[in-house]
Structure 1
Amino acid sequence: MTGTRDEEYLGIREVAASVGLSQDTLRWYEREGLVPRVERDGSRRRRYSPRHVGWLRTLVLLRRTGMPTRDMRRFGRLAADGAATHPERLALLSAHRDRLVARIAALGDDLAALDGKVERYRELIAQGRDCGAPLPDGD
């Protein structure tokens, strides 16, 4: 990584804390090819550049939104190939966004159903009533 001063490099502990991942997860990301090669110092300790940290933050975002590892890997390969891959990256991110919007809508429906159940139990408790007969055992 040319142009980066030694004091700008971070060790794995600092990077893990900075991006909200465990050290083991960072190592796993490296093994899975999600992170560009990380330099090592003379003692073989990892030296993450500011660019690595930025990329890891992107990966954390993608993972938190449910992007599969294979798509994260593909996105990384496309990013490494430069600006010519912008249309492919846009398509990948747009498809993921569409899945995320659908998941949010489904969660909204689930939350509304759960809210209805909570309200029903509050009413039953306030009235001192039972919710109904228990389900049969199936015997």
Structure 2
Amino acid sequence: MADSSEPDRIGIRAVSELTGLSIDTLRWYEREGLLPLVERGPGGRRGYSPAAIRFIRLVRALRRTGMPVDDVRAFVRMGSGLEWHDRRTALLEQRAAAIEQQIGQLRQDLAVVREKIAHHRDLKRRGLDCEDEIGTAAPDALLPGEAGRDPREQRDEQRERRERGKTGIEHA
């Protein structure tokens, strides 16, 4: 299946299948300087070592979690060797903290979505359309100045106010 002549290296098609990245994406990652471990064999064909494949999986994970391309590139350019371990580890620890924060936010968002699913099921059980409830909110349930505004915008702002109250952080 390997399309490289090197016995311990595999070709781009096999790497694409292993990583779930398209061949075009792998080539783009290489052009952008995100893959330092890609070697070329005779005839210019790419050959990926097991270490390169592990690195591709790391780059994919970093990108999926929202790490900017420039930060990934900086990570790659740090080089290898003991003198870079602390800087690389610090960068990965920062990304891990950001991922933990994303997971927390996603859990909160999932709870809101599940609450809405339950609400819609209840409306259906009662024979009501979700649009029926918009006109039934008590006027005093709205904050001053909210009448006539988009209900989704109102809910988002109310959720933000609740979150600020939980964390004590005021957003600009």
TM-score (norm 1): 0.82
**1:66 to 2:62 alignment:** no
Name the CA distance, whole Å, in 2 between partners of 1:90 and 1:42: 36
Letter of the structure 2 residue corresponding to residue 96 of structure 1? R
**1:99 to 2:98 alignment:** yes
| Structure 2 unmatched runs, 5+ | 137-147, 151-172
| Structure 1 unmatched runs, 5+ | none
Q: Deviations over 1:74-107 (max 9, x none)?
A: 11122x2311111111211111122111111111
- Deviation of 1:117 after TM superposition, in Å, equals 1.1
Q: Which residue of 1 aligns with 2:114?
A: 115
- Deviation of 1:37 after TM superposition, in Å, equals 5.3
Name the CA distance, whole Å, in 1 between partners of 2:74 and 2:17: 26
Q: What number of residue pairs does the alignment pair up?
A: 133
Q: Which residue of 1 aligns with 2:50?
A: 50
**1:133 to 2:118 alignment:** no
- Deviation of 1:61 after TM superposition, in Å, equals 1.9
- Deviation of 1:41 after TM superposition, in Å, equals 2.8
Letter of the structure 2 residue corresponding to residue 40 of structure 1? R
- Deviation of 1:22 after TM superposition, in Å, equals 0.4
RMSD: 2.4
Name the CA distance, whole Å, in 1 between partners of 2:39 and 2:111: 49
Name the CA distance, whole Å, in 2 between partners of 1:115 and 1:52: 40
Runs of 4+ off more than 4 Å: none
Q: 1:6 is paired with a residue of what secondary structure? A: coil
Q: Which residue of 1 aligns with 2:140?
A: none
| Greater Cα radius of gyration, structure 1 or 2 | 2
Q: Which residue of 1 aligns with 2:77?
A: 77
TM-score (norm 2): 0.68
Q: Which residue of 2 aligns with 1:29?
A: 29
Contact 2:38 2:47 in 1 (8 A): yes
Letter of the structure 2 residue corresponding to residue 101 of structure 1? E
Name the CA distance, whole Å, in 2 between partners of 1:95 and 1:30: 24
Contact 2:15 2:48 in 1 (8 A): yes
Identity of aligned residues (%): 42
Q: 1:8 is paired with a residue of what secondary structure? A: coil
Name the CA distance, whole Å, in 2 between partners of 1:54 and 1:99: 21
Letter of the structure 2 residue corresponding to residue 100 of structure 1? I
